[in-house]
Chains A and B, each alone.
Chain A
Amino acid sequence: MFRNQYDTDVTTWSPAGRLFQVEYAMEAVKQGSAAIGLRSKTHVVLACVNKASSELSSHQKKIFKVDDHIGVAIAGLTADGRVLSRYLRNECINYSYTYESSLPVGRLVVQLADKAQVCTQRSWKRPYGVGLLVGGLDESGAHLYYNCPSGNYFEYQAFAIGSRSQAAKTYLERKFEGFMDAREDLIKDALFALRETLQGEKLTSSICTIAIVGVGEAFHILDQETVQALIDEFEIVGEEPPADEAATPDQSSDAEPGPADQGTPSDQGATPMDI
């Protein structure tokens, strides 16, 4: 993509019928660190790479709980992502207040998409520079959506966004047909896909965040010890993911609803400012 005379304003079309500012916003998503989502019939797993900009700083928060049944992972301008998460949370709270039931995921993503579209058609605004993987559960089952800055949204079985996401997508394309199965395998697949985006760098629980939502399980972020235990389990087995369900460490401790718990300090390479 090169600079041209039609890319100054979001409200200027190019002769080829493109809105360059919107496309540039989607570039911002591609530059962000990777975020991955996958779903089975009953669960949705969101995973992301959490690289701190220096050893002295804390991680960027990239996964947000929106409601007990919905969470989002973001890639791109994380500030925009934070603001949109606040919007999503508010929408869920207002819906629950009025209808005393959970906002269906499909409705939420449409509202989000419409909000993004507004920014593509106002000269005094700019598009949101963040892509959101919205994972959630409602009466019609488990869903994973991708909302992009253009105002489009798509439903996915599995998807990856951000830098080096293509490697993860290739892995997911191979494996997605098997996603109807156990929750533990879904998390393992997420970790494998995440590892693909690291291109050889060692996967440890201090640089990634995993969150899950499922039937009977409110959206929550897995704590660092659990994630590290899972990583250790499959890295011992070797490069290939285990063929059958290996005995997993106490998964029952994961099923705690409530506020998130990200990056608690542990012995292995945690940055000092982990909150």
Chain B
Amino acid sequence: MTKQQANWSPYDNNGGTCVAIAGADYCVIAADTRMSTGYSILTRDYSKISQLADKSVMASSGFQADVRALQKVLAARHLIYQHQHNKQMSCPAMAQLLSNTLYYKRFFPYYAFNVLGGLDNEGKGCVFTYDAVGSYERVGYSSQGSGATLITPFLDNQLKSPSPLLLPAKDAVTPLSESEAIDLVKTCFASATERDIYTGDKLEIVILNASGLRREYMELRKD
């Protein structure tokens, strides 16, 4: 008597990779724009990045239907917060909200692998990294998604001081400048695109700093 197997799965993996790096007064959040299913490409131009608040930007890979639903829930919750408190949610507050929202569906999770980036209450860059059910931690940099295994070791090597590999991390955030961090992110994705079939097409980079939010794009290999 063999165990009954599901003939249908509520989840699908649309692939893709997300990265975020925190600096002294900026935060860089990046993700590729390829959306796939199985070995096929659904679209080359889908944004995985969502601005949740003035100073909080989330990038999520995984099952994009769940990602979209999660973004909508957080947007609605943020509106409620604004009505009640008369101000925007801070990034650490949003980080906690995201964690709670994910754990709320502990027994039918959002298939979403998130990195939340932004500026904390003091204006310093912050990055929070999550698993699918809401376990989270503030870090100096993070990567999630299909290319994460390729990118994370490279970031550990390049961003030596905030790396948790020297326990505890020497710096909370990277001492790199904003433009250096952006170049590093571009390098990460260029490399990940070479070896990960689910990463490519185009790179979307969001930079958050004291002057506001800025977006940059870079073409990636389309194969």
What residues make up the interface of A, taking CB atoms closer than 8 Å to B?
65, 86, 89-90, 93-94, 96-97, 258-260
Contact = CB atoms under 8 A, between A and B. Distances in A.
Q: Which of B73, B79, B82 has the most CB of A within 10 A?
A: B79
A259 B82 contact: yes
A264 to B, nearest CB: 12
A259 B86 contact: yes
Nearest to B87: A259
Contacts of B72: 97
Q: Which of B76, B80, B83 has the most CB of A within 10 A?
A: B83
A94 B76 CA distance: 8
Contacts of A94: 76
Contact of B80 (A65, A89, A259, A260): A89
Interface in B103-152: none
A93 B76 CA distance: 6
A90 B84 CA distance: 12
Contacts of A96: 76
Q: Specify the main secondary structure of chain B where it touches its partner.
A: helix
20 contacts: A65-B83, A86-B83, A89-B79, A89-B80, A89-B83, A90-B80, A93-B76, A93-B79, A93-B80, A94-B76, A96-B76, A97-B72, A97-B73, A97-B76, A258-B82, A259-B82, A259-B86, A259-B87, A259-B88, A260-B86
A90 B79 CA distance: 9
Interface residues of B, number: 10
Interface of B: 72-73, 76, 79-80, 82-83, 86-88
Given A96-B76, A97-B72, 11 more contacts: A65-B83, A86-B83, A93-B76, A93-B79, A93-B80, A94-B76, A97-B73, A97-B76, A259-B86, A259-B87, A259-B88
Contacts, number: 20
Contacts of A259: 82, 86-88
Nearest to A92: B79
Q: Specify the main secondary structure of chain A where it touches its partner.
A: helix
Nearest to A86: B83
A93 B81 CA distance: 12
A94 B83 CA distance: 14
Nearest to B86: A259
Contacts of A86: 83
Contacts of A90: 80
Nearest to B72: A97
B11 to A, nearest CB: 22
Contacts of B82: 258-259
B84 to A, nearest CB: 9
Nearest to A98: B72
- Please provide the 3 A-B residue pairs with the shortest distance between their CB atoms, ordered closest to farther: A259-B86, A93-B76, A97-B76
A239 B88 CA distance: 42
Nearest to A66: B83
Nearest to B77: A93
A104 B100 CA distance: 32
A17 to B, nearest CB: 40
Contacts of A258: 82
A65 B87 CA distance: 13
Contacts of B83: 65, 86, 89
B89 to A, nearest CB: 11
B36 to A, nearest CB: 25
A199 to B, nearest CB: 32
A260 B88 CA distance: 11
Contacts of A97: 72-73, 76
Nearest to A94: B76
Contacts of B86: 259-260
Contacts of B80: 89-90, 93
B162 to A, nearest CB: 33
Contacts of A93: 76, 79-80
A96 B87 CA distance: 20
B65 to A, nearest CB: 15
B53 to A, nearest CB: 11
A258 to B, nearest CB: 8
A258 B83 CA distance: 10
A86 B79 CA distance: 12
A4 to B, nearest CB: 42
Nearest to A100: B72
Contacts of B87: 259
Contacts of B88: 259
A258 B87 CA distance: 8
A96 B71 CA distance: 13
Nearest to B78: A93
A96 B72 CA distance: 9
